[in-house]
Structure 1
Amino acid sequence: MAPINQLPAALLAACAVFLALAAPLLAGNPDMLQDFCVADYKSLKGPLRLNGFPCKRPENATANDFFSNVLAKPGNTNNPVGSAVTAANVENLPGLNTLGVSMSRVDYAPWGVNPPHTHPRATEIIFVLEGSLDVGFVTTGGYLYGRTVCKGEIFVFPRGLLHFQKNNGGAPAVAISAFNSQLPGTQSLAVALFGASPPVPTDVLARALQIDGGVVEAIKSKFPTNY
């Protein structure tokens, strides 16, 4: 085979285009090969599935499979963090199956926080409907990109990076998030560290966070496991 510097220029250009096109295909959900694939929840026999939900037969789909009013009502922000996330994803909107998109509504009490978390399967773009938020994400190198986002403005959180939002005012705030995944997933930093089941060993957390083991146990008591 000829050395790469001796290959025809046209072939090198074609390879470059192929690689450029291939990279985005790895970043989101797989492309569908049909008009739609309405999720058929009834056909599931257990919690395991390959990637997404089985499809209804197209003739059994209805307009209601593509409709939801789940984001119409504000979430209950009367909780320790002062925020509520309402998701519209494939688990409650069957028409999203295989389409590779979803949305969430985030309501914030005055000074409420959407705590640090990640979305392992999606990039997020947030649009502030009401109020003003202090937002930010942290890179893998530990750099914080943060700023204030006001009503009518947007901000992007890259896929998989730790990020947060905080209402910086004394009135309620509302934002809408969009994702390039039908089920972006959410991993809360605090819950992952202090509410895992079985629990992350206390001595591991104490050493990692450089705090006393008693403090770790006290924090764990605030995050009962859900398993």
Structure 2
Amino acid sequence: REFLEQPLITKIGIVVVCLGFLYNVGMTVLKGRKTAINVVMMTGLIGLAVMFLFSFYNPDNLTRDKFYWWYVVHLWVEGVWELIMAAMLAYVLIKITGVDREVIEKWLYVIVAMALISGILGTGHHYFWIGAPTVWLWVGSIFSTLEPLPFFAMVLFAFNMINRRRREHPNKAAALWAMGTTVTAFLGAGVWGFLHTLAPVNYYTHGTQLTAAHGHLAFYGA
């Protein structure tokens, strides 16, 4: 199974590390202030551990195998990592801009909602050619075309908050990261993904260098 060919002990180690990180952050959140950013981060960290569990299941049926395979390979980026990225971005922007938490959290609500709606159902664009029902040609094409929206919203979010900042923070690198990572994620996950997400186009581009560029640049942005 491509990308999931790790030995069993390595997979167990990944889950243990995810759970350890979840426990560390979770206990900190329980003893600290409860905010929307914390909730989004915790949701992402829970998904980080849970979604990887599907890598342990390897059914003999190729179609079923690919269904669960994409739960790990796709939903980690479009669901889990996007939540973690959005929470980290919101936290950094609060610290370096001085913009009201209420404003930043409203942006966060919109980004998370768009990410979950488009990302979960957008997984269907991976089900075009694996023997799944033809309904996925429509579901995958429609919802995956919406997937660039949360990434573009992150770009607007970062640049807008930087422009509205109330103070000049000495950590220039953090500001550059906040802007740069959103742009790279939008290009890799959004633009490159959109170029070959429709079923009639994906029929010819599936498995080409365009696919590899999309995946690698998307994760680089995150």
* TM-score when normalising by structure 2: 0.23
| Higher-strand-fraction structure | 1
* TM-score when normalising by structure 1: 0.23
- Please say which structure displays the higher CA radius of gyration: 1
